[in-house]
Structure 1
Amino acid sequence: MNRPEGGSWIVGVDVGGTFTDFSAVNDRTGETHVFKRPSTPDDPSHAILDGLREMAVACGIGLGEVSRLAHGTTVATNALLQGRGGRVALVTTEGFRDLLEIGRQVRPHMYDFRRAFPAPPVPAERRFELAERMDAAGGPVRAPTEADIEAAVEAVRASGAEACAVCFLFAYLNGAHERALAGALRAALPELHVSLSSEVQPEFREFERFSTTTVNAALQSVMDHYLGRLEEGLSAVAPRASLGINQSSGGLMSVARARTFPVRTALSGPAAGVVGAVHAARSAGFGDLVTLDMGGTSADMALIRGGEADIAYERAVAGFPIRLPQIDIATIGAGGGSIAWFDRDGLMKVGPGSAGADPGPACYGHGNTEPTVTDANLLLGRLSPRGLLDGGMRLDEGRARAAFAPAAAALGRSVG
């Protein structure tokens, strides 16, 4: 992305489950500012736009001078975790409609007889076949007829799908048949989001390619709506700012690219944190380190060797296999909002459940009554009595104490 002329502030924003963090740097003077505000889980763009306005007032930054906004987002990841992706149809080569359900001979829970077989990303009633075939060298063996293509288009229309994944055998070598069907789908169903495996993940291993493309299709409507709202709001708040979206591999991509390939943003927030940590470490003369990025909901760790982060190519997000280059990050459900609870064995455990930003820890005073790590730190005196956000968010020690009272009674202890 080329930097537009004019403007002198570059702003980075990371939307987490509890807080939204901003970092602004003046590329002419080197002046820097950081800012934090609560996230808005219902629509993360609200926290970004409101935070820009608040940061401008608090830090004396003219929003008309912001030239670039780099955004790390968890919208795609959360949509997968919460099952809020779009309704997807799949069109594949004749004879391979069940490939997504068959998968590979991998049994992650081999000895758990009660665990149900995971549901496929696209149910059988929305998986369709097209009579087409490429050979192993990418040469056409059987081209789809116009009648076959029209039948596939009508099947997708009748399914009520919001998005369609087109995944043909050996399309990574020759995507001509995928493009032919995509053209017909877009002409007949202009509101339909279409993902082609030959564009999303043009590599061999059809199961991973099909799965990655299907996940991409499921995320297209979610990211399209979110980025549309963000772009519209940003044009009013910071009209000269170009918007870049962080990728899971650590770089930036345009909004148009993020709308087309939203699967590339699945771990963009944590990846951006690793990139920043590598830059800071290099500046300090360190080449080998372990990064720890702990927020309100989760903690992310990465290994840096020789000043470079490791890259992984296969990962499961919310149980869906995804094969794309991404910074190798380990994530656990432990953060400031992690909730303390008792398991059936009577032992106290913490996480992975989190109070998030709304209602947040009990000490926020927004209605949560379960004890969290933040409540414990407040009672232990590790948090300033002035509260968070430089005193802008007051913390209620009484509510934190009340949240821990049942746990203390169960352990035969006092809250202190």
Structure 2
Amino acid sequence: MHRIGFDVGGTFTDLTLHNTATGALHHFKLPSTPADLSDAIASGIGTLLCQAGVSPSAVGFVGHGTTVATNMVIEHRGVRTGLITTRGFRDVLEIGRQVRPNLYDYTVRTPVPLVPREHRIEMRERLDASGAVLQALDEDAVAAAADALGAQGVQAIAICFLHAYLNDAHERRAAEIVRQRLLGVFVCTSSEVLPEFREFERFSTTVINAYIGPRVDRYLHRLLARLAELGVATQPYTIHSNGGLMPVETVRRFPVRTCLSGPAAGVVGAAIVGREAGFPNLITFDAGGTSTDVSLVERGQPAFATSRMIAGYPVRMPMVDVHVIGAGGGSLAWLDDAGALKVGPSSAGADPGPVAYGCGGDKPTLTDANIVLHRLDPEVLLGGRMWVDEGAARRAIQEQIASPLGLSLEQAALGIIRIAVANMSRAIRAVSTEKGYDVGGFALFAYGGAGPLHAAAVAAECGIT
């Protein structure tokens, strides 16, 4: 049997084919296709099968990690979403909690709710703190709310009632009514998504599930269609944010569970390799094209968390504890209003990508800096399959960074790399020294396109020997 695993990143898609009988491995990497991610997946799988001389019918397992859901939340690319909730609670999403990540930042701005106030409708219904019914659900009001939201063009509806984690009867009935009146609209309830107390976190997680649901479903539909076109009959599994596997139908119902899918897969894999290599204590350092994901592995086991913030929105579920920052090969280098050099968090992504890729990018990136200094050999990128315009990278850094700062081209390129390394090192300290761990007892496990490239500098910066 042959197994295929692939990771869909914001910049590149990586694929591996494993022959379980012989242990043989084949790898392939190609740029992601943001307009339709399945294009890169299908092209990569087809190339792998051709290279290995394997029939699609011989593939018995397909598994993948993805940041599709995370990126939708970060970039606000979900669908128009509605919320049906208990009377008096439609502003829970906006009120949130009195949490100040940056204590002295008087300019802080809270994230805009994913459901605008006009799309949040209150219902007459009430349960007490034990789940007993205090006021029956007004079914006519639910029907009217569904009609109103449908008229507003919503494509997804989250149903979140007070204390529904103890008694889901009202939420289930409301969902039935909405589905009957709005065919094709994605509907989810908080008692299914997160049957736990703490209304704000439960509401937020359920709303995110609804917000990304239709687009994740379309992504899966395209993925299944492309696999079928290739002749791969097996259904793909997706990595859960806790490192486990989910079938397609589970992902369609609970897409929020994939919010840290790709990063979680990397940490779980690193933990296995580390144990086998005799390094049970690891700091995993996954630097890709768009982001850097850092986590801690202690005694061979990944660290886990029960909640985290994604783009400022709380998501509550079991997950591998990954610290994510906007620093990767595609991170843009720029000058702020005071003329200081910055790198990230914005990224050139796969489209248009770094200037050197010649795909329309005109802003210098970390990758361009590495090409200018020949830390990345422009002749062998992607095994020589990817053309690189070193001259364009040099001109972009010279004109936009070096000349305004009065630096040589090489000094400017090195400055870009040093700032990126400082950002990456800060993320490592956040999961290690700032939590009381001595990094001297951990090995740095670097992977991802930009991870090994910057690993030595990051290790030196953090004192990892």
Give the equivalent residue in structure 1 for 2:392: 399
Are the aligned partners of 1:250 and 1:275 in contact in 2 as well (CA < 8 Å)?
Answer: yes
Q: Which amino acid aligns with 1:206?
A: E
SS in 1 for 2:339: coil
Give how far 1:240 is off: 2.2
Q: Does 2:422 match 1:410?
A: no
Q: Does 2:147 match 1:154?
A: yes
Are the aligned partners of 1:23 and 1:32 in contact in 2 as well (CA < 8 Å)?
Answer: yes
Quick one: structure 1 residues 118 and 380, their matched pair in 2 at CA, closer, same or farther if it must change by over 3 Å? closer
Give the equivalent residue in structure 2 for 1:134: 127
Are the aligned partners of 2:235 and 2:248 in contact in 1 as well (CA < 8 Å)?
Answer: no
Are the aligned partners of 2:242 and 2:320 in contact in 1 as well (CA < 8 Å)?
Answer: yes
Q: Does 2:11 match 1:18?
A: yes
Give how far 1:109 is off: 5.0
* 1:380-395 aligned within 5 A: 380-395=373-388
Give the equivalent residue in structure 1 for 2:445: none
Are the aligned partners of 2:123 and 2:138 in contact in 1 as well (CA < 8 Å)?
Answer: no
> How far apart in 1 are the matches of 2:278 and 2:208?
40
| Number of residue pairs aligned between Structure 1 and Structure 2 | 409
Quick one: structure 1 residues 344 and 194, their matched pair in 2 at CA, closer, same or farther if it must change by over 3 Å? same
SS in 1 for 2:114: coil
Deviation sequence 1:43-66 (CA, Å, 0-9, x none): 111110111112222333332211
Deviation sequence 1:4-42 (CA, Å, 0-9, x none): xxxx11111111111100122112221112210111111
Q: Which amino acid aligns with 2:93?
A: L
Q: Does 2:212 match 1:223?
A: no
Deviation sequence 1:294-346 (CA, Å, 0-9, x none): 11111111000111111111211112111111110111211111222122232
Give the equivalent residue in structure 1 for 2:75: 82
* 1:195-234 aligned within 5 A: 195-234=188-227
Are the aligned partners of 1:72 and 1:269 in contact in 2 as well (CA < 8 Å)?
Answer: yes
> How far apart in 2 are the matches of 1:145 and 1:298?
46
Give the equivalent residue in structure 2 for 1:38: 31
Are the aligned partners of 1:302 and 1:329 in contact in 2 as well (CA < 8 Å)?
Answer: yes
Q: Counting helix residues as a fraction of each chain, which structure ranks higher?
A: 2
Quick one: structure 1 residues 384 and 59, their matched pair in 2 at CA, closer, same or farther if it must change by over 3 Å? farther
Q: Does 2:114 match 1:121?
A: yes
> How far apart in 1 are the matches of 2:342 and 2:221?
40
| TM-score (structure 2 length as normaliser) | 0.84
Q: Does 2:102 match 1:102?
A: no
SS in 1 for 2:409: coil
> How far apart in 1 are the matches of 2:243 and 2:256?
14
Partner of residue 245 from structure 2, selected from 249, 252, 261: 252
> How far apart in 1 are the matches of 2:311 and 2:290?
16
Give the equivalent residue in structure 2 for 1:346: 339
Give how far 1:171 is off: 0.6
Give the equivalent residue in structure 2 for 1:240: 233
Give the equivalent residue in structure 1 for 2:263: 270
> How far apart in 2 are the matches of 1:146 and 1:294?
50
Runs of 5+ consecutive residues of structure 1 not aligned to the other structure: 1-7
Runs of 5+ consecutive residues of structure 2 not aligned to the other structure: 411-465
> How far apart in 1 are the matches of 2:382 and 2:235?
28
Are the aligned partners of 1:270 and 1:329 in contact in 2 as well (CA < 8 Å)?
Answer: yes
Deviates more, 1:293-302 or 1:374-383: 374-383
SS in 2 for 1:339: strand
Give how far 1:244 is off: 0.5
SS in 1 for 2:134: strand
Partner of residue 187 from structure 2, selected from 194, 207, 210: 194
Deviation sequence 1:163-219 (CA, Å, 0-9, x none): 111101111011011001111111121211111000000000011001110111101
Quick one: structure 1 residues 60 and 369, their matched pair in 2 at CA, closer, same or farther if it must change by over 3 Å? same
> How far apart in 2 are the matches of 1:110 and 1:158?
42
Q: Does 2:70 match 1:71?
A: no
> How far apart in 2 are the matches of 1:90 and 1:413?
54
Q: Which amino acid aligns with 1:138?
A: G
Are the aligned partners of 1:387 and 1:395 in contact in 2 as well (CA < 8 Å)?
Answer: no
Deviation sequence 1:361-380 (CA, Å, 0-9, x none): 12212222322222222222
Q: Which amino acid aligns with 2:364?
A: P
Q: Does 2:308 match 1:311?
A: no
Deviation sequence 1:211-248 (CA, Å, 0-9, x none): 11011110111111111111111111143222111111
> How far apart in 2 are the matches of 1:288 and 1:114?
39
Give the equivalent residue in structure 1 for 2:42: 49
Partner of residue 372 from structure 1, selected from 354, 365, 372: 365
Are the aligned partners of 2:111 and 2:313 in contact in 1 as well (CA < 8 Å)?
Answer: no
Are the aligned partners of 1:85 and 1:222 in contact in 2 as well (CA < 8 Å)?
Answer: yes
SS in 2 for 1:390: helix
Give the equivalent residue in structure 1 for 2:424: none
Deviation sequence 1:125-170 (CA, Å, 0-9, x none): 1111121112211222222144333333333333321111110111
Q: Does 2:136 match 1:143?
A: yes
Are the aligned partners of 1:246 and 1:265 in contact in 2 as well (CA < 8 Å)?
Answer: yes
Give the equivalent residue in structure 2 for 1:3: none
> How far apart in 2 are the matches of 1:119 and 1:371?
30
Are the aligned partners of 1:66 and 1:238 in contact in 2 as well (CA < 8 Å)?
Answer: no
Q: Which amino acid aligns with 2:175?
A: A
Give the equivalent residue in structure 2 for 1:5: none
Give how far 1:74 is off: 1.3
